[in-house]
Structure 1
Amino acid sequence: MSYRITHRLFAEAFGTATLTAAIVGSAVMASRLTDNPAAAQLCVAVSCSAVLFVMLELLAPISGGHFNPAVSLAMLMQGAVRRREALAYVCAQLAGGILGIVLVHLMFEFPPISIGTHVRNGYAQWLAEAVSTFGLVFAILQGLKLRPQSVPAIVGIYVLSVTLFASTSFANPATTVARAMTGTLSGIRPADVPAFVVAQLGGCLLAVVLIRWLTSETPSASPNRD
């Protein structure tokens, strides 16, 4: 079934808002429930992966379930969406991410918007962002080729894993921009956002290139007529 662009954009904004709210809200809740960093990280990982699975199951049939500008870029490069559609998706994702931050702040009685102060800088964190985004895009694209019905589970399990093994795992320019608008521990200093986004897009491009090489057909060898 083909859905109208307004429905698809709403699905992208709603999905991204829910994902962002789950990330930031679970981090706030975990910090109130425990002083154990490992337990807090596990709480965020489970919340993020679970809500992503649900949103993909429910909204991917409508919009494709990108919820991430890096994914929309990958789909554009794969020819799955048109340029103007991809741009509209990115705008909806950015708006959804900001809405998710505002909702979490209001639920926890914070000001609607606060500037992020958490310093996230340096080659190790940039590499982590490139790696986590590469893995996410690779999982989505290869999953769509080989196991399309399993993509929500594939993505959810990957996100659960990468959130626990990478030093950072934002892996999403929209949530990165949104998290510059929260002063909670899940936030990011605005000055650190551009480098994160560049690393994420670099990981995305590398994943697309690898998928194209990995799935390219090899010409059959000509039979020996001697």
Structure 2
Amino acid sequence: MRTALARRLGAEFLGSATLAAVVIGSGIAAQALSPGDTGLQLLENALATALALPVLILVFGPISGAHFNPVVSLVDSAVGMRAWRDTALYIPAQVAGCIVGAVAANIMFEQPAVAWSTTDRLTGAHFLAEVIATAGLILVIFALARSNRASVIPWAVGAYIGAAYFFTSSTSFANPAITLGRMFTDTFAGITPGSAPGFIAAQLLGAAVGAGLVLWFSPRPSPVTTAARR
């Protein structure tokens, strides 16, 4: 059991680190490849993230569930699909992974290993955008999981996040762990430490809204999904 738990935590750490490296590294590359064109930079950043997410979920999903996101883990436990003990251990692994991934991205592109972001992102509009982005992400994941359509979650999550880069003013962080990781890079994807608490508060609120929507639209997991979780 200890080996299995260590394997799950390792999957959450490595998956989160890779996700952060993709988000931050592609942002740095986009700035270098398309200087002066913010729209194209965002498209390149979004495309890299949307392509990487399904791959990471497919690789690590059978091991840990491929959360890479504290709000996904919290909702997973809140709706009775995972033990709270796992969530309590998953979250530190996810946060540590995102920080390591941010540092790795910085180093790969010859940036300082750690450079606190100076990009102030928190406004009322961004707060609302993060609530909506996170609620939507939770609804996508758990509505599919509770209706026996988990096989399409990797593609649905990648498509949703790719779209949310553009339809939300915040560019859809929707993840407290990666929000913390982005503080460590003063590049395209960075967020100042002063903005991060507001973003995380919005993400937690969005997770609660999303969980409520899931329980309203899918009050009971399908029999096949329930059996698979035992």
Tell me the secondary structure at the aligned position of residue 120 of structure 1: coil
Q: Which runs of 5+ in 2 are unaligned?
A: 221-230
| 1:167 alignment partner in structure 2 | 169
| 2:37 alignment partner in structure 1 | 36
Q: TM-score when scaled to structure 2?
A: 0.91
Per-residue CA deviations over 1:92-116 (Å, capped at 9, x if unaligned) read: 0001000101111111111211111
Tell me how far 1:36 sits from its aligned partner.
1.4
| Number of equivalent positions | 216
Partner of residue 200 from structure 2, selected from 197, 200, 205: 197
1:155 aligns with 2:157: yes
Q: TM-score when scaled to structure 1?
A: 0.93
Tell me how far 1:126 sits from its aligned partner.
0.4
Structure 1 distance, partners of 2:189, 2:203, is 17
Q: Which amino acid aligns with 1:187?
A: G
Q: Which amino acid aligns with 2:178?
A: T
Tell me the secondary structure at the aligned position of residue 185 of structure 2: coil
Tell me how far 1:118 sits from its aligned partner.
0.3
1:84 aligns with 2:64: no
Tell me how far 1:29 sits from its aligned partner.
0.4
Structure 2 distance, partners of 1:45, 1:122, is 21
Q: Which amino acid aligns with 1:69?
A: P
Matches within 5 A, 1:1-40: 4-34=4-34, 35-40=36-41
User: Are the equivalent residues in 1 in contact too, given 2:146–2:218 (CA < 8 A)?
Assistant: no
Structure 2 distance, partners of 1:50, 1:143, is 20
Tell me how far 1:185 sits from its aligned partner.
2.2
User: Are the equivalent residues in 2 in contact too, given 1:143–1:154 (CA < 8 A)?
Assistant: no
Identity %: 37
Tell me how far 1:174 sits from its aligned partner.
0.2
| Moved segments of 4+, more than 3 Å | none
| 1:223 alignment partner in structure 2 | none
Tell me how far 1:37 sits from its aligned partner.
1.3
Structure 1 distance, partners of 2:83, 2:146, is 19
Q: Which runs of 5+ in 1 are unaligned?
A: 218-226
Tell me how far 1:130 sits from its aligned partner.
0.6
Matches within 5 A, 1:90-169: 90-146=91-147, 147-168=149-170, 169=172
User: Are the equivalent residues in 1 in contact too, given 2:128–2:202 (CA < 8 A)?
Assistant: yes
Tell me how far 1:206 sits from its aligned partner.
0.6
Tell me how far 1:143 sits from its aligned partner.
1.2
Q: Which amino acid aligns with 2:61?
A: A
Q: CA RMSD in A?
A: 1.3
Tell me how far 1:145 sits from its aligned partner.
2.0
Per-residue CA deviations over 1:107-148 (Å, capped at 9, x if unaligned) read: 111121111110111110001111111111110001112311
| 1:222 alignment partner in structure 2 | none
1:183 aligns with 2:186: yes
